[in-house]
Chains A and B, each alone.
Chain A
């Protein structure tokens, strides 16, 4: 009596192979899409007007979300770290702890997650519905490359906007930490700001933070436009593209964050 019929075993191996092949294919498609998008970005018609418009949609409209979340996260950090630090009598290190956490990790990562939910989904949905209503084909018929006209302005705007939003998130976070730690819990204001200023260095923390937000911007922009561009041309396809864009962007952002953090300074 055989434990497993041979063809079941074969089927398992085969489906594993199929999965890997389609995964690698998807990665390849993504890479080709990225190279075409960057190619279109560096070619003459710069389309400043459209980039400016995208900065409004992705940046200005995400501003309220980012600022409110930033101050809330800062206040939570202030209270939580105060409790832990005051147990060791080290509550004057609150500024240092809040500052380093916000600048290197929470600022870029949470801004990235918020932006991918707020702007990345809209981006994928917009391009997806353009696919569904054959607007991209219309552009192609007028011999306008949709890569150049639709994708690349969105991509540039996303990469440009992320560091700005992340810096604002950090500023509001530091303010929130001040509000919770200094105003409510009574940590000395001087040691809070002094701790932040002495602990955070440009080449270590601020540069890492900016590099992260730039990379996350590129990731979100690429994934959102890719998903929209390859959406199935119907209502369901558009909604799937939107969901997948947010999920894929958030997960890959967190993975990328680990690698940037681990490799930083090596």
Chain B
């Protein structure tokens, strides 16, 4: 019966190692978020969001603190972006949000810049100061137009 026991041990080890690999993929690499920790939602309205998509990262000083949850059009035709951040994060209510690009051709993300106000943003609060995405084509268009004006 010793060989059966040995085989059982091997199978058990295999199953455990396999499950560990799945767990590692989901937690460490997949970035499973702790479902127990609470989240709060912030809103920010932008004139132009460029290529921003849902699940894009939201950073403060380069550190990822949340994600873009959804993007919709508000009644005044601005893009209303819902941002989800951990609830233990306290941001001043004069925080500003801008849409930036990672590298030249990278994905777009939202960078928050905390202000100096003593009052903090609560759940459902709106970020008042927003800066739209820079659209490369429009920028090039402006430069080309500008050059045309100069040469005339």
Contact = CB atoms under 8 A, between A and B. Distances in A.
B75 to A, nearest CB: 29
A63 B18 CA distance: 10
A56 B8 CA distance: 8
A196 B29 contact: yes
Given A52-B11, A55-B11, A164 B28 contact: no
Contacts of A99: 29
A165 B57 CA distance: 32
Nearest to B10: A60
B90 interface: no
Contacts of A59: 11, 14-15, 18
Interface string B19-60: 101101110111110000000000000000000000101000
A206 B14 contact: no
A206 B15 contact: no
B13 to A, nearest CB: 9
Contacts of A103: 25, 29
Majority-rule SS of A interface residues: helix
A60 B24 CA distance: 20
Contacts, number: 69
Nearest to A56: B11
A69 to B, nearest CB: 15
A200 interface: yes
B30 A163 contact: no
Interface stretch (A135-143, A167-175, A182-190, A249-257): A167-175
B11 A170 contact: no
Contacts of B138: none
Contact of B18 (A56, A165, A198, A205): A165
9 contacts: A55-B15, A56-B7, A56-B10, A56-B14, A59-B14, A163-B22, A167-B18, A168-B17, A201-B30
Given A103-B29, A168-B18, A198-B31, 5 more contacts: A56-B11, A59-B11, A103-B25, A167-B24, A200-B25
